[in-house]
Amino acid sequence: MAVTSLAYWRKKLFFSSAERSFYEILRRIAPDYTVFAKVRLRDVIFASARGKTWRTKHDRIQSKHLDFLICDATLAPVMAVELGDSSQTEADRKTRDQLVDAALAAARVPILRIPVARSYAIDQIRPLVSPHLHGLGPAC
């Protein structure tokens, strides 16, 4: 099968306008850290290999993603950030978010949930993010 016959198209933009605005704010708040976007949860944390429940634990995080992940100079995860939209009020989304929050808490990775907006002001976001960065690497 020729590659040109596959029905795949490149997206025009990687980020929505809200994601792009937030990404730029994070980069300014944490210039000595690396900010990744749209990261698979299983690339950040893993299920313990102990016991018969490993597969269940693994499968629960398998297809979940984080909006942003801030890493230190060694690329170790420092904190996760999720932008919440109107779907956050749906029951299945709440269950998903509770699982993600609990899994990250167990792995000692803080998560910050921010309501989605068209744009963000650095003065709004800095006090929410900075406390998680201090003492973990270069000051921001």
- Given a contact cutoff of 8 angstroms between Cβ atoms, the answer to whether 54 and 48 are in contact is yes
Mean pLDDT of 85-103: 80
**DSSP of 45-80, one letter per residue?**
----S-STTHHHHHHHHHT-EEEEEEE-TT--EEEE
Q: What are the tokens at 39?
A: 């990261």
Pairing state between β 77-84 and 111-115: parallel
Q: With 0.85 as the threshold, say if the pTM is over it.
A: no
Helix, coil or strand: residue 34:
strand
Cα radius of gyration (the chain)? 17
Q: pLDDT digit string (tens) for 49-80?
A: 776 776 677 667 778 899 999 999 999 999 99
Domain boundaries, the chain: 14-132
For the stretch 6-28, pLDDT in tens is 888 888 989 888 899 999 999 99
